[in-house]
Amino acid sequence: MPQLVTLRFKRPQRRAIRIWVPVLPVLLVFSPLVVLAALGAVVACLIFRVSVARAFGTGWRIVWALSGTRFDMEYDRMGVLVAFR
């Protein structure tokens, strides 16, 4: 599971901004929203007749596999890099 998310914003003719976000403290702060999102996911699974256990298992595997993933996006001279560690 990723422990740290690194955000880097490249700006034209300025220094890049780097932000390090630890995953666990952010998850603990937003845990009430995570519980509401999980309840919403359960309701959506029941409406669309999808197995709740299978949906949560798949979601957990995706989150677990994020470690080491990098996402780069550049438009014109601006850029964003998101790295999961």
Looking at residue 31, what is its pLDDT? 96
pLDDT in tens, 17-56: 999 999 999 999 999 999 999 999 999 999 999 999 999 9
Reported confidence tier of residue 1, pLDDT bands at 50, 70, 90: confident
Looking at residue 30, what is its pLDDT? 96
Domain that holds residue 65: 4-84
| Phi then psi dihedrals of residue 2, to 5 deg | -65, 140
DSSP code for 15: P
Give which of 30, 13, 12, 10 is closest to 21, Cα–Cα: 30
Report how many domains make up the chain.
Answer: 1
| Phi then psi dihedrals of residue 6, to 5 deg | -105, 125
